[in-house]
A and B are shown apart, each in its own frame.
Chain A
Amino acid sequence: MAIVIEKLTKSYGEKLALPPFSLRVEPGEIVCLLGQSGCGKTTLFRLMLGLETPTGGTVTGLPEGISAVFQEDRLCPAFSAVANVALALGRQVPKGEIVSLLRSLGLGDALQKPVRELSGGMQRRVAIARSLLYPAELFLMDEPFKGLDEDTRRQVMDTVLARTKGKTLLMVTHDPEEAAYLGGRVVRM
């Protein structure tokens, strides 16, 4: 079932956070949202995640399971990478699978360290791993690769593509190259 966003808008008093926006996303499609800061990309995701109520417009066709990579990592700083990922998954995913994905994202040496001791790029990868393992049909990723160096970025993008194959992926980015690499439809906001 396609996700249909129609004239979705959000205002905070006088301030317009998301001007009326419409989009149709087919199941399994990759859509990269490009746009300047403040054009409402993050607000759009927040509305789709049910974290905000729209001022106007509708979103239909959202699947039951939605996973997200937020603009911030939103990790529990005192707990390890494995514990952070496991927290979001409950018992739905075996620990071995969590460890395996974290290793494939280059976090093999940092599995049991509290995430507050990890670098920004490593924390980002933990947040991506959490999102990828969450059982979902739709993945909303808000600038997921920011803070990653060139090589790591390619490696992580490949993992994201492999893990979300057949699922719908909406991604916010400022980098047209990133959008081109992922090979999806580019939508300018």
Chain B
Amino acid sequence: MALDMHLLLVTPLEVVRRLFTLVGKSGFWKTLLFSFSRIVLGFLLAFALGCLLGVLSGKWPLLETLLWPYVITIKTVPVASFIIISLIFFSARQLSTFISFLMVFPVIYSNVLEGIRSTDKDLMEMAQVFRIGWWRRLGYIYLPHLKPFLFSACSVALGMSWKSGVAAEVIGVAAGSIGEKLYESKIYFLTEDLLAWTVVIVLVSVLFEKLFLQLMRAGFDRWEGR
């Protein structure tokens, strides 16, 4: 069988050239914004809920017990299964938000819970003796202790949100998404497009990770510098 090698394997230069061509097209930014907004929304919702429930589970162990079956299910069920099941309930356009949320939530939740559990017992006793209220404990004792847990969790979870979100778009063939472009590249053997869009995903994912972690660091610095 004769294969056109150009079709299957492309050089990095061709990918870069294709990337510039794509960036120049009017639909590029729309597609990027479509996927970015949905995947990042899923991440942010999971971050907020993961932090909230992680802190509350650290305070009330009963809540941790109640959430455990859900968290363990999300952690162990393959993402592809979730995507296909979710397609029954969600439109393909919203799917990436839900899947990104689903993959990120256990990472944030587990790390926050672990951070709360490992908080310095000496400081907690100090807070008890000086009758420091729960909100102040959260801000001055728990939050600084959670810092490394949050950074590590977010670093992992941000990459996961993009991988799972785009996978959801590919399987659901969400119209107007990056996932759809990847799907089309597969159908039409557009290897250049496939790799160019992959580069876009990697770049956006890395840039957003840097930005988010930087904002978080600035937030912590501002709070601790009071």
Contacts and interface: CB of A to CB of B under 8 A. Distances in A.
B27 to A, nearest CB: 47
Contacts of B141: 76
A74 interface: yes
Given A70-B122, A90-B136, A78 B130 contact: no
Interface of chain A, helix or strand or loop or mixed?
loop
A134 interface: yes
Interface size class of B (residues with CB under 8 A): 10 to 19
B1 to A, nearest CB: 65
A87 B224 contact: no
A79 B145 CA distance: 12
Contact of A83 (B125, B128, B129, B140): B140
Most buried by A among B126, B132, B141: B126
A70 B224 contact: no
A76 B129 contact: no
A50 B129 CA distance: 8
A100 B141 CA distance: 25
A72 interface: yes
Interface string B147-169: 00000000000000000000000
B226 interface: yes
B129 A68 contact: yes
B19 to A, nearest CB: 42
B224 A78 contact: yes
Given A74-B126, A76-B123, 6 more contacts: A74-B125, A80-B226, A87-B130, A87-B132, A88-B130, A90-B136
Interface of B: 122-123, 125-126, 128-130, 132-133, 136, 140-141, 144, 224, 226
